C-alpha cells in the first residue's frame, strides 16, 4: 500500500523538489567526477519506505574512459534525483545516453504488481495543484502533509521496456499524473550505449493536453522490487537544450 501512495503522490522521485533560484539549469555531469568518488551534489539518493532493498548507485568508468553512473538493482528500488530550474519553452530537448545489462522478463507497464523497468528517466514538472481534479488534490495534499514535502504533481517517465515497442506511451499503472513513454525496448541493444533525445515540452503537451510548466527536476532509476529480478543500468550525462527540429 505504501508504494501505491508514493506513486500517486510522486514521492518516489525526490525530496522536496521545488522551483527556486538556487536550482541549476543543467544536471551536474557525472563525467565531472572521478570513478569511485561520491556522486556529485545536488544529485540526491531517495530510498523508498517499506521497500526492503535499495538500488545501489555509484560512479564507474565506461569503455571510452568517461565517468558514468551505475545503478544496480536486485529485488530493489530507489531513485537518484536532481533539482533543476528549466524553462521547457526555451530548452525542451533532453539528451542522454544509457545502457542496460538485460531487460526484465516479467515486467509489464500495464500492471501494478509488475511495474518495474531496467532503466527509467523521470522529468518532473511544477504543475499547479489547484488545476488538478479534486480527488487528485486530496491525495497529493494528504501525502504532502504526511511527509512534509512539496511534491511535483506531473511527470514524464522515459523507460527501457521489455515488451512494448519504442513509441508506446501509457499512464502509470498507479496514477494518471505520470506518463510512461517507451524509448528503448527488448534485447536487441542490451549491453550497448544508446543515445536518446526527447522534446519534453512536446511529450508533455501530448500527454497532458496543455503547455509544459517549468521543469523542477529529473530522477534516474532501475527498479526490480515488484518482479524480484536483477539488472544493472548505466547513465551518462544528461543535458537540456533548445529544440532540434526532430
Spans of all domains in the chain: 2-241
In which element (H, E) is residue 93 found?
A: strand 93-100
Q: Output the pLDDT for position 150.
A: 57
Q: 9-27: buried (b, 16+ CB within 10 Å) or exposed (e) per residue?
A: bbbbbbbebbbeeebeeeb
For the chain, percent of residues with pLDDT exceeding 90? 64
Q: Which residue has the higher pLDDT, 130 or 39?
A: 39
Within the chain, what is the greatest distance between any pair of CA atoms?
51
Q: Output the pLDDT for position 155.
A: 92
Nearest to 112 by CA among 174, 155, 179: 174
Residue 22 pLDDT class (50, 70, 90 cuts)? confident
Lowest-confidence pick of 38-47, 139-148, 170-179? 139-148
Q: Output the pLDDT for position 28.
A: 97
Average pLDDT over all residues of the chain: 86
Residue 180 CA: distances (Å) to CA of 42, 66, 163, 164: 25, 29, 14, 11
Q: Output the pLDDT for position 245.
A: 65
Global pTM value? 0.89
When the candidates are 3.40.50.620, 3.20.20.60, 3.40.640.10, 2.60.120.260, the CATH number that belongs to 2-241 is 2.60.120.260
Residue 8 CA: distances (Å) to CA of 4, 62, 177, 203: 6, 35, 7, 20
Residues 189-210, mean pLDDT to the nearest whole number? 97
Please compute, for residue 162, the number of CA atoms within 13 A of its CA located in the half-sphere on the CB side.
19
> Does residue 19 have a pLDDT over 90?
no
The DSSP secondary structure of 53-76, one letter per residue, reads S--EEEEEE-TTS-EEEEEEEES-
> Does residue 21 have a pLDDT over 60?
no
Amino acid at each position: 500500500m505504501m508504494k501505491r501512495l508514493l506513486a500517486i503522490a510522486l514521492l518516489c522521485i525526490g525530496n522536496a523538489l521545488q522551483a527556486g533560484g538556487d536550482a541549476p539549469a543543467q544536471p551536474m555531469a557525472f563525467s565531472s567526477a572521478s570513478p569511485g568518488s561520491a556522486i556529485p551534489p545536488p544529485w540526491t539518493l531517495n530510498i523508498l519506505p517499506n521497500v526492503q532493498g535499495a538500488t545501489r548507485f555509484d560512479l564507474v568508468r565506461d569503455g571510452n574512459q568517461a565517468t558514468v553512473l551505475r545503478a544496480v538493482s536486485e529485488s530493489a528500488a530507489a531513485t537518484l534525483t536532481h533539482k533543476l530550474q528549466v524553462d521547457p519553452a526555451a530548452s525542451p530537448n533532453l539528451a542522454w545516453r544509457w545502457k542496460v545489462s538485460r531487460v526484465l522478463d516479467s515486467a509489464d507497464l500495464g500492471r501494478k504488481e509488475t511495474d518495474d523497468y531496467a532503466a527509467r528517466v523521470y522529468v518532473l514538472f511544477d504543475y499547479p495543484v489547484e488545476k488538478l481534479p479534486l480527488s487528485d488534490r486530496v491525495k497529493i495534499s494528504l501525502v504532502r502533509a504526511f511527509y512534509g514535502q512539496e511534491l511535483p504533481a506531473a511527470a514524464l517517465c522515459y523507460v527501457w521496456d521489455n515488451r512494448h515497442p519504442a513509441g508506446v506511451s501509457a499512464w502509470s499503472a498507479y496514477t494518471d499524473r505520470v506518463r510512461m513513454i517507451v524509448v528503448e525496448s527488448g534485447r536487441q541493444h542490451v549491453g550497448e550505449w544508446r543515445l536518446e533525445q526527447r522534446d519534453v515540452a512536446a511529450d508533455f503537451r501530448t500527454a497532458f493536453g496543455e503547455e509544459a510548466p517549468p521543469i523542477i527536476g529529473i530522477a534516474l532509476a532501475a527498479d526490480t522490487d515488484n518482479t524480484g529480478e536483477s539488472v544493472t543500468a548505466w547513465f551518462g550525462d544528461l543535458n537540456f537544450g533548445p529544440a532540434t527540429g526532430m
